[in-house]
């Protein structure tokens, strides 16, 4: 039997938003973390240490995981001290709430070793070389083979870790529990950590976790007596693109890319060419509607990569105008937009100057 303490009372200062409430797919960080412990056999009590402001916000979690809520202190050390007073099982596992990728295998390994050795700390060998630095100068290069970085959950014999925390002097602060145990009880036992058991601390830790990618492609025929409009910019040309709207293939490809990224129907369905409303429509204003949908789903455009495939006219001289126009419509900075131009080497309908195509890939977060 064991109790688990999940720490979620930090200020998330480096992330500038409450990392516990961040969503990873459909679930929040704290949900994923709590769920990992809830499914472990032998769990007696699941204790969540958090700010009292969160008690109400976490009411659903409290019910689903039968949580014991404890108010966090000003420091990690204080938070753990508060939580230990609720521990009644012979063993306790202490875990960072911001490590949502902890596996049941690691939790069980820590638990088993805690029973056998009185403590178990997951650790990974140090990959980077570590330097001791003072005043911008390297003082010493440490022997990497002796260095390990430690993770959580850290497991302890409950009576021993309680005794360690009771021995603490006022204002003594530690960054992890094994250091308290090491100082007041004995050398903790090390088990192999898990590289996937990452702690979310910096904004870069979540970049990519929630990112979406979308792809779009479009082609329109070229015809006489039509304006050639690409990326919302009119280009002098004998032929223009033919379509129900202004037939701006580049903007159409970008719209489909954005819509696919947020899981919404494509432009054929949203702006059907059977609807007279869209006859001669300005594609840039349709793009604004799509951007509003992206915003409504709480996504931001990270990057847009566009390729325009045309034999003629030569489009590269318009790159800057295209980027400026798209930047305005997408409400993103110009450096987020990349545009490439290619021909089909005179092959097929594009090579024969009878069509222009465009393909777009976007990433959102």
Q: Using CB under 5 A as the criterion, which residues of the chain lie in contact with Mg ion when the complex forms?
A: 218, 252
Of the pair 5, 267, the CB lying nearest Mg ion is at 267
Angle (CA) 123 127 131, round 5° = 105
* Count of Cβ atoms closer than 10 Å to residue 266 Cβ: 15
CA dihedral 341, 343, 349, 352 (to 10 degrees): 120
Minimum gap (Å) between residue 217 Cβ and Mg ion: 10
Q: Provide the strand spans (E) within 67-197.
A: 67-71, 91-96, 119-125, 131-134, 137-141, 148-150, 154-157, 190-192
Taken as a whole, the chain contains a residue count of 365
Nearer to Mg ion, 206 or 286 (CB): 286
CB of 200 to Mg ion, least distance (A): 41
The number of angstroms, rounded, from the C-alpha of 155 to the middle of its chain's C-alpha atoms is: 28
Which one, 211 or 242, has the nearer CB to Mg ion?
242
> Least distance (Å) from Mg ion to the CB of residue 125?
54
Residue nearest to Mg ion (CB): 252
Nearest approach, Cβ of residue 304 and Mg ion (Å): 17
Q: Pick between residue 198 and residue 293 the one whose CB is nearest to Mg ion.
A: 293
Q: How far is the CB of 150 from Mg ion (least distance, A)?
A: 55
Check if the beta carbon of residue 48 is closer than 8 Å to that of residue 97.
yes
Distances (CA, A) of 348 to 221, 223, 224, 310, 352: 12, 16, 19, 11, 6
* Beta carbon nearer to Mg ion, 122 or 243: 243
């Amino acid at each position: 039997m064991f109790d688990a303490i999940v720490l979620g009372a930090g200020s998330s200062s480096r992330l500038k938003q409450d990392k516990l409430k961040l969503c990873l797919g459909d679930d929040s960080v704290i949900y994923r973390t709590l769920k990992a412990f809830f499914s472990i056999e032998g769990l007696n009590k699941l204790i969540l240490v958090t700010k009292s402001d969160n008690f109400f916000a976490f009411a659903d979690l409290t019910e689903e995981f039968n949580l014991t809520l404890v108010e966090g202190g000003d420091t990690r050390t204080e938070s753990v001290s508060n939580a230990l007073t609720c521990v009644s099982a012979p063993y306790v596992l202490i875990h960072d709430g911001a490590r949502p990728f902890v596996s049941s295998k690691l939790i069980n390994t820590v638990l088993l070793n805690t029973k056998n050795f009185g403590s178990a700390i997951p650790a990974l060998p140090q990959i980077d070389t570590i330097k001791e630095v003072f005043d911008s100068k390297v003082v010493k290069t440490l022997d990497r083979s002796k260095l390990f970085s430690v993770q959580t959950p850290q497991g302890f014999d409950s009576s021993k870790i309680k005794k360690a925390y009771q021995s603490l002097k006022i204002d003594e602060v530690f960054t992890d529990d094994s250091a308290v145990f090491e100082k007041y009880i004995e050398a903790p036992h090390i088990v192999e950590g898990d590289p996937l058991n990452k702690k979310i601390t910096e904004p870069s830790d979540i970049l990519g976790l929630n990112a979406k990618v979308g792809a779009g492609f479009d082609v329109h025929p070229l015809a006489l007596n039509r304006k050639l409009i690409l990326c919302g910019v009119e280009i002098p040309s004998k032929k223009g693109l033919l379509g129900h709207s202004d037939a701006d293939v580049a903007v159409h490809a970008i719209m489909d890319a954005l819509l696919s990224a947020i899981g919404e129907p494509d432009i054929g369905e949203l702006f059907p060419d059977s609807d007279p409303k869209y006859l001669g429509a300005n594609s840039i204003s349709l793009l604004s509607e799509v951007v509003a949908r992206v915003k409504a789903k709480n996504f931001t455009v990270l990057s847009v990569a566009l390729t325009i495939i045309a034999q003629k006219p030569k489009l590269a001289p318009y790159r800057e105008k295209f980027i400026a126009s798209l930047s305005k419509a997408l409400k993103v900075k110009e450096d987020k937009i990349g545009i490439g131009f290619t021909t089909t080497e005179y092959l097929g309908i594009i090579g024969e100057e009878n069509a222009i195509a465009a393909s777009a890939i976007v990433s959102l977060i």
